[in-house]
Amino acid sequence: MAIVYLSLGSNSGDRIGYIQQAAGLLGASEGISIIRTSAFYETEPWGMESQTWFVNAVLEIKTTLSPQNLLQQCLRIENQLGRKRSPKGYIDRTIDIDILFYNKDIINNENLIIPHKFVHLRAFTLVPLLELIPNFEHPLLHKTITELHNDLENPEMVFLYGTRAEI
């Protein structure tokens, strides 16, 4: 069984509803069990021009799926929940599911990079990870989540949205 951290985010429509639906679909998937979740956070868009802020959360799961099969499951759920993609870059989305860490594995394939290549630059991933695994060491950067968060030079705004995610 692998321990995996997934970032879920939405800035379109019922943002919390989409995160809850995605988490429910992940938890109902064969080979995936949700261990725990972070709280919901409302976050400033990162790397894109949008007026709509995101709601984000991080899930800790255990899975028997390979990283590639987990990616396929995440993409299937994004598609099922109406995720649209643009060749021009980031756009508003109903749901985004990113694999942040898969155990302490390092994967660098054409369609999958783990640890996520931007995890250490995004407050919207680091703040929820601080809740769950503040002392986890990034397998490439050899810094803890707390250290990575402290190293952010110009973090986007991240606010606690409500109570612990009801997933």
CATH assignment of the domain containing 49 = 3.30.70.560
Q: Which domain holds residue 23?
A: 2-164
State residue 82's pLDDT score: 82
pLDDT tens across 69-100, in order?
999 999 999 999 988 776 676 667 899 999 99
- The residue annotated as part of the active site, out of 93, 122, 151, 164, is 93
Statement: residue 105 has pLDDT above 80: yes
Query: CB burial class (10 A; 0-12, 13-18, 19+) of residue 109?
Result: exposed
Question: Is 122 noted as a catalytic residue in this protein?
Answer: no
Please say if 98 is a catalytic residue: yes
Catalytic residue among 15, 36, 85, 98: 98
Long-range own/partner contacts, residues 76-85 (CB < 8 A, 24 or more apart): 77/22, 77/25, 77/26, 78/22, 80/25, 81/18, 81/21, 81/22, 81/25
Please report the pLDDT score of residue 52 as a whole number.
Answer: 87
Total number of domains constituting the chain: 1
> Is 76 designated active site?
no
Residues 24-55 have pLDDT tens digits of 999 999 999 999 999 999 998 876 676 789 99
Catalytic residue among 76, 96, 105, 151: 96
